[in-house]
C-alpha cells in the first residue's frame, strides 16, 4: 500500500499558488472594511483590521504558551506504562 | 397503555436489550436503526409539564417532564443514536452497540427527569454503560482507562448524591428547579454535575478515556455525558456566575492541550472540553440569549463533534493508526472522509455558513450584551484558538501534511452515509438557523448574516489560519503525552504507595534484624546452657541439690518473717 506520488496538490508550484491566492483573500478581508463597517459590541472591534490582528496575535500567543507549557508537561508516550522508579530517576537527570 | 405514554428513555433501553438478544443480521440491524427513530417520535410527543409519575419512599417521582429545552436535548440525543447506529452497526461489537444505546437511553432519561432522584438514576445508567463502551475498545489500555473513567464517574455520582440528599432534607422537595450555590448541598450538586462536564480540576478523564475506545465507540461517547451535564446546568444553575470562569478555564485548557497533543482522537477529545467550556460560560451568563446559545451550541456541537470523531474513526478503522506523526496525505484515497472532516472542522470553528457560526455567536452576543468585556474578548480569542487547534490542526495533520505513504480505502458505505448526514446538518443549520432557533427555550430572532459581522469573523479566522501556517515549525509533532491532573491518581498515589511500602519494608527489615539478633542471642544462650554438658543438662551430684534446697528454704523463711 505504500507508494509515493506527486499529487498535483502537493507540488511546490501549487503550494506557491495557494499561498498567493490565500494572501490575496486575506488582503481582501481587511480591505473590505473600507466598504463594510464591522459590527461589534465594543468600540475597539470597529477599528480598522481589529479582527485580523487580534485573531493573529491570539493564536501566536496560544502557540507560544503551549510551547512553554509543553516543556513542563510533555512526557514520553509510554510514561504511564513504564516503571515509575526508572522514570523518576530518568527525570532527575 | 399507548406507546407514546412510555418514557422515551425506556423505548431506547428496550432497543438496547433487543440488540443484546438478537443475532447479527437484518433483524438486529433493523432494531439499531428503528429504535432511535421510535424514541425520537416519542420525544416529540412528550407534552410540556409532568406526564408520568411514580412513587418511591415518600417522594413522588416525575419520570417524564417536558419543556422545550428538554425536548431539544432529547431530540439531538435520539438523532445522535440513529446516525451513530448507522455509522457503527456493521463493525461495532454487539456489546458495544447495546451499551451505547443504553448509554443514550440514560442521556434521554436525564433530559426528561422531572426530579433529582430520576436524574440521579439515569445519571448512573450513563456512567455504567459509557464505561462498557470504553471497555469495548478491547485493548489493555482501554481496560485500564475504563477503570479510571468509572472511578471518576462513580466519585462524581457519590458527590451528586450527597448534594441531592442534602437538598431533600433541607427543602423536603426533589423538584428540579433553578437554584444557586448557597449551601453545602447545592455546591455538591454543582460539583457532581461539573465532573461530568469535564470541568477542572478533573478534566483529564475525558481525554484519557474517549480516545481509547473503538472507532465507533468514541462517536457515541463524544455526544452524551458532557451535554447532559450542560442541560443539568441549564436546568439547575442558570446565571451562576462562577460558571463563567470555570467555562473560560475549560476553553483555554482544551486549546492548549490540543495544541500539545499528537493523537488525532485525543485532539478531538480536548476540543470537547473546549466546546463544553463555551456552553458552561453561557449558562454562567444566564440571560435568555445566553441560555439559547448554550442549548443551540450543544445541539450543533453534538453533530459536528460526532462528525469529526466519525472521520477520525474511519481513519483508525482503515489504518489502525491515530497518531498525527504516523498519518498524513490521506486525502488522496479518502476524499469523502477528508471533505466531511473539513466540514466538521469548519463548523467547530464557527465559520460562516456552518452551524458553529449560528450557535456559538449567540454566546458571544450574550456576553457583549451584558457588558462583560473580558469574557467577550476572551471568547473571541478562543474562537480563533478553536480554528487553530481543531479547525486546521486536525484535518491538516491527518489528511494533508506530509505523504505518509498510506493509501487506505475510503469509508465503508454506512460510515460514509452517517458522515454525509451530519455534514449536511452542519451546513443546513449554518444556512438556515431558524430551523433550530424555533425550538430554543426562549424566542430567538438573531440574524448574524450581516456583512459587518461576517467580515469580522472572516478576519479573525483567516488570520488565525495564517498564524497556524507561519508557526508550523513550532508545532512539530512529538511522540509525547502531556501531564494533567490525572497524574495525581495515575502516578502520585502510586509513588506515594511505593514510598509508603518502602518505609514499611524498612521497618520490617529493622524489626527483622532486631528479632534476628535477639533470637541469635537466645539460641546462643540456650545452646550454651542446654548442650550435653551445659549447666541445665549435665548430671549434678545429690549434695548440690540438697544445698540448693536448703538455700531456697532459708530465703522462703526469711521472706515469710519480713
Per-residue cell: B376: 467577550
Identify whether A2 is part of a domain.
no
Mean pLDDT to the nearest integer, B254-272: 94
Q: What's the domain range around A12?
A: 8-92
Mean pLDDT to the nearest integer, B142-164: 95
pLDDT at B79 over 80: yes
Chain A residues closer than 8 Å to B381 by CB: 54-55, 58, 62
A3-33 pLDDT, tens digit each: 456 788 888 888 999 999 999 999 999 999 8
Identify whether A58 is part of a domain.
yes
User: Which pLDDT does position A2 carry in this prediction?
Assistant: 44
pLDDT at B505 over 70: yes
Mean pLDDT to the nearest integer, B177-187: 92
**pLDDT band, very low/low/confident/very high, at B5 (cuts 50, 70, 90):** low
Rounded to an integer, what distance in angstroms lies between the CA atom of residue B425 and that of residue B304?
A: 9
Name which of B323, B399, B311 is nearest B347 in CA terms.
Answer: B311
Per-residue cell: B248: 473560560
B314-331 pLDDT, tens digit each: 999 999 999 999 999 899
Q: What are phi and psi of B263, to 5 degrees?
A: -80, 125
User: Which pLDDT does position B550 carry in this prediction?
Assistant: 92
Q: What is the mean pLDDT of chain B?
A: 92
User: Which pLDDT does position A77 carry in this prediction?
Assistant: 86
What are the beta bridge partners of residue B49?
A: B66
Mean pLDDT to the nearest integer, B156-162: 96
Contact call for residues B153 and B128 (beta carbons, < 8 A): no
Name which of B300, B288, B191 is nearest B238 in CA terms.
Answer: B288
B88-132 pLDDT, tens digit each: 999 999 999 999 999 999 999 999 999 999 999 999 999 999 999
- Burial of residue B507 (CB within 10 Å: 0-12, 13-18, 19+) is exposed
Mean pLDDT to the nearest integer, B60-87: 94
Kindly list the distances between the CA atom of residue B75 and the CA atoms of A70, B552, B555, in Å, as whole numbers in the listed order: 40, 100, 101
Q: What are phi and psi of A42, to 5 degrees?
A: -125, 155
**A77 — contact with chain B (CB < 8 Å)?**
yes
Number of domains in chain A: 1
Query: In chain B, which among 244-303 make CB contacts under 8 A with chain A?
Result: 252, 255-256, 259-260, 262
Rounded to an integer, what distance in angstroms lies between the CA atom of residue B191 and that of residue B197?
A: 10
Most B CBs within 10 A among A16, A18, A19, A66, hence the mutation to make, goes to A66
Chain A residues closer than 8 Å to B483 by CB: 72-75
**pLDDT band, very low/low/confident/very high, at B528 (cuts 50, 70, 90):** confident
Query: Is pLDDT larger for residue B152 or for residue B50?
Result: B152
User: Which pLDDT does position B404 carry in this prediction?
Assistant: 87
- Smallest Cβ–Cβ distance between A62 and the set B255, B453, B455 belongs to B255
Cis peptide before B201 (omega within 30 of 0): yes
Mean pLDDT to the nearest integer, B443-466: 92
Contact A3 B471 (CB under 8 A): no
Contact A50 B450 (CB under 8 A): no
- Smallest Cβ–Cβ distance between A54 and the set B453, B460, B484 belongs to B460
Contact call for residues A68 and B481 (beta carbons, < 8 A): no
User: Which pLDDT does position B323 carry in this prediction?
Assistant: 92
Pick the residue from chain A with its C-alpha nearest to B388: A59
- Smallest Cβ–Cβ distance between B464 and the set A25, A40, A59 belongs to A59
Q: What are phi and psi of B486, to 5 degrees?
A: -65, -15
- Rg of chain A, C-alpha, whole Å: 23
Identify whether A33 is part of a domain.
yes
Rounded to an integer, what distance in angstroms lies between the CA atom of residue B301 and that of residue B308?
A: 10
Rounded to an integer, what distance in angstroms lies between the CA atom of residue B283 and that of residue B227?
A: 12
Mean pLDDT to the nearest integer, A36-48: 84
Query: In chain B, which among 435-464 make CB contacts under 8 A with chain A?
Result: 450-453, 455-464
Rounded to an integer, what distance in angstroms lies between the CA atom of residue B338 and that of residue B326?
A: 17
Contact B384 A54 (CB under 8 A): yes
User: Which pLDDT does position B1 carry in this prediction?
Assistant: 46
User: Which pLDDT does position B487 carry in this prediction?
Assistant: 85
Identify whether A61 is part of a domain.
yes
- Smallest Cβ–Cβ distance between A41 and the set B369, B408, B494 belongs to B369
Mean pLDDT to the nearest integer, B496-501: 88
Query: Is pLDDT larger for residue B528 or for residue A3?
Result: B528
Contact A54 B381 (CB under 8 A): yes
pLDDT at B479 over 90: no
Mean pLDDT to the nearest integer, A23-51: 88
Those residues whose C-beta lies under 8 Å from the C-beta of residue B280, and which sit 6 or more positions away, are B197, B199, B230, B233, B243, B246, B247, B250, B294
pLDDT at B524 over 50: yes
Mean pLDDT to the nearest integer, B264-287: 96
> Ranked by mean pLDDT, which of A39-53, B310-324, B397-411 comes out on top?
B310-324
Most B CBs within 10 A among A23, A59, A78, A81, hence the mutation to make, goes to A59
Identify whether A77 is part of a domain.
yes
Contact B256 A66 (CB under 8 A): yes
Per-residue cell: B238: 442558570
User: Which pLDDT does position B34 carry in this prediction?
Assistant: 95
User: Which pLDDT does position A91 carry in this prediction?
Assistant: 47
Chain B residues closer than 8 Å to A85 by CB: 498
Query: Is pLDDT larger for residue B316 or for residue B56?
Result: B316
Those residues whose C-beta lies under 8 Å from the C-beta of residue B206, and which sit 6 or more positions away, are B198, B226, B269, B270, B272, B273
User: Which pLDDT does position A93 carry in this prediction?
Assistant: 41
Q: What is the mean pLDDT of chain A?
A: 82
- Smallest Cβ–Cβ distance between B474 and the set A38, A67, A80 belongs to A67
Mean pLDDT to the nearest integer, B29-36: 94
Mean pLDDT to the nearest integer, B336-354: 96
Contact A22 B373 (CB under 8 A): no
**pLDDT band, very low/low/confident/very high, at B137 (cuts 50, 70, 90):** very high
pLDDT at A89 over 90: no
Pairing of strands B480-482, A74-76: antiparallel
- Smallest Cβ–Cβ distance between A60 and the set B452, B462, B471 belongs to B471
Chain A residues closer than 8 Å to B401 by CB: none
User: Which pLDDT does position B488 carry in this prediction?
Assistant: 84
pLDDT at B364 over 90: yes
Name which of B5, B17, B8, B18 is nearest B51 in CA terms.
Answer: B5
Question: Could you please report the per-residue DSSP string of B298-329?
Answer: HHHHHHHHHHHHHHHHHHHHHHS--BTTT---
Kindly list the distances between the CA atom of residue B24 and the CA atoms of B90, B97, B99, B215, B447, in Å, as whole numbers in the listed order: 9, 11, 16, 19, 48
- Smallest Cβ–Cβ distance between A41 and the set B376, B385, B481 belongs to B376
Rounded to an integer, what distance in angstroms lies between the CA atom of residue B490 and that of residue B479?
A: 20
The proportion of chain B whose per-residue pLDDT surpasses 90, expressed as a percent, equals: 78
Identify whether A3 is part of a domain.
no
Query: Is pLDDT larger for residue B378 or for residue B479?
Result: B378
**pLDDT band, very low/low/confident/very high, at A83 (cuts 50, 70, 90):** low
Identify whether A1 is part of a domain.
no
Query: In chain A, which among 2-61 make CB contacts under 8 A with chain B?
Result: 2-5, 7, 9-10, 22, 25-26, 29-30, 32-33, 36-42, 45, 49-56, 58-60
Which range (A83-87, B156-160, B369-373) has the least confidence?
A: A83-87
B189-221 pLDDT, tens digit each: 999 999 999 999 999 999 999 999 999 999 999
Contact A26 B331 (CB under 8 A): no
User: Which pLDDT does position A87 carry in this prediction?
Assistant: 47
Amino acid at each position: 500500500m505504500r507508494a509515493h506520488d506527486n499529487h498535483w496538490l502537493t507540488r511546490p508550484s501549487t503550494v506557491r499558488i495557494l499561498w498567493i491566492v490565500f494572501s490575496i483573500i486575506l488582503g481582501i478581508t481587511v480591505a473590505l472594511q473600507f466598504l463594510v463597517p464591522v459590527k461589534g459590541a465594543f468600540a475597539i472591534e470597529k477599528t480598522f483590521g481589529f479582527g485580523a490582528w487580534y485573531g493573529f496575535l491570539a493564536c501566536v500567543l496560544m502557540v507560544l504558551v503551549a510551547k512553554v507549557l509543553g516543556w513542563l508537561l510533555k512526557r514520553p508516550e509510554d510514561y504511564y506504562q513504564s516503571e515509575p522508579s526508572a522514570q523518576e530517576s530518568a527525570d532527575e537527570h | 397503555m399507548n406507546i407514546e405514554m412510555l418514557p422515551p428513555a425506556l423505548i431506547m433501553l428496550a432497543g438496547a436489550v433487543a440488540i443484546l438478544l438478537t443475532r447479527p443480521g437484518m433483524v438486529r440491524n433493523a432494531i439499531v436503526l428503528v429504535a432511535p427513530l421510535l424514541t425520537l417520535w416519542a420525544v416529540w410527543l412528550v407534552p410540556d409539564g409532568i406526564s408520568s409519575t411514580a412513587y418511591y419512599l415518600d417522594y413522588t417521582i416525575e419520570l417524564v417532564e417536558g419543556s422545550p429545552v428538554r425536548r431539544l436535548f432529547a431530540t439531538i440525543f435520539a438523532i445522535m443514536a440513529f446516525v451513530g447506529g448507522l455509522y457503527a452497526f456493521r463493525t461495532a461489537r454487539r456489546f458495544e452497540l447495546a451499551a451505547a444505546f443504553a448509554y443514550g437511553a440514560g442521556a434521554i432519561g436525564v433530559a426528561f427527569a422531572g426530579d433529582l432522584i430520576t436524574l440521579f438514576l439515569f445519571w448512573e445508567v450513563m456512567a455504567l454503560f459509557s464505561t462498557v463502551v470504553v471497555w469495548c475498545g478491547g485493548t489493555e489500555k482501554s481496560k485500564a482507562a475504563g477503570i479510571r473513567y468509572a472511578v471518576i464517574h462513580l466519585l462524581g455520582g457519590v458527590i451528586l448524591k450527597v448534594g441531592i440528599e442534602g437538598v431533600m432534607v433541607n427543602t423536603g422537595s426533589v423538584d428540579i428547579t433553578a437554584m444557586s450555590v448557597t449551601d453545602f448541598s447545592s455546591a455538591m450538586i454543582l460539583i457532581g454535575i461539573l465532573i461530568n462536564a469535564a470541568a477542572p480540576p478533573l478534566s483529564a478523564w475525558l481525554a484519557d478515556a474517549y480516545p481509547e475506545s473503538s472507532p465507533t465507540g468514541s462517536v457515541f461517547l463524544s455526544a452524551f455525558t458532557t451535554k447532559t451535564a450542560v442541560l443539568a446546568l441549564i436546568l439547575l444553575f442558570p446565571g451562576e456566575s462562577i460558571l463563567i470562569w470555570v467555562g473560560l478555564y475549560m476553553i483555554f485548557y482544551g486549546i492548549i492541550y490540543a495544541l500539545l497533543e499528537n493523537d488525532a482522537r485525543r485532539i478531538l477529545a480536548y476540543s470537547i472540553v473546549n466546546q463544553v467550556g463555551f456552553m458552561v460560560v453561557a449558562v454562567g451568563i444566564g440571560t435568555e440569549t445566553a441560555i439559547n446559545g448554550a442549548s443551540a451550541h450543544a445541539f450543533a456541537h453534538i453533530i459536528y463533534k460526532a462528525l469529526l470523531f466519525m472521520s477520525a474513526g474511519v481513519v483508525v478503522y482503515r489504518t489502525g493508526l491515530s497518531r498525527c506523526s504516523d498519518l498524513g496525505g490521506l486525502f488522496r484515497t479518502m476524499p469523502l472522509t477528508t471533505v466531511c472532516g473539513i466540514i466538521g472542522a469548519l463548523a467547530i470553528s464557527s465559520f460562516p455558513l456552518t452551524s458553529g457560526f449560528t450557535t456559538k455567536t449567540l454566546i458571544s452576543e450574550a456576553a457583549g450584551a451584558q457588558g462583560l468585556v473580558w469574557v467577550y474578548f476572551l471568547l473571541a480569542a478562543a474562537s480563533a484558538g478553536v480554528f487553530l487547534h481543531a479547525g486546521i490542526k486536525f484535518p491538516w495533520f491527518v489528511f494533508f501534511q506530509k505523504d505518509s505513504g498510506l493509501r487506505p480505502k475510503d469509508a465503508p458505505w454506512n460510515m460514509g452515509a452517517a458522515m454525509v448526514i451530519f455534514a449536511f446538518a452542519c451546513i443546513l443549520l449554518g444556512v438556515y438557523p431558524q430551523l433550530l432557533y424555533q425550538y430554543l427555550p426562549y424566542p430567538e430572532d438573531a440574524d448574524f448574516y450581516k456583512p459587518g459581522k461576517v467580515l469580522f469573523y472572516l478576519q479573525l479566522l483567516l488570520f488565525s489560519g495564517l498564524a497556524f501556517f507561519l508557526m508550523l515549525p513550532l508545532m512539530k509533532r512529538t511522540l509525547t503525552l502531556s501531564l494533567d491532573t490525572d497524574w495525581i491518581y495515575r502516578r502520585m498515589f502510586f509513588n506515594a504507595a511505593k514510598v509508603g511500602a518502602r518505609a514499611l519494608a524498612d521497618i520490617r527489615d529493622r524489626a527483622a534484624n532486631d528479632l534476628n539478633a535477639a533470637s541469635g542471642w537466645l539460641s546462643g544462650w540456650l545452646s550454651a546452657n542446654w548442650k550435653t554438658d551445659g549447666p541445665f543438662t549435665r548430671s549434678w551430684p545429690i549434695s548440690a541439690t540438697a544445698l540448693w534446697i536448703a538455700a531456697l528454704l532459708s530465703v522462703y523463711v526469711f521472706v515469710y518473717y519480713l
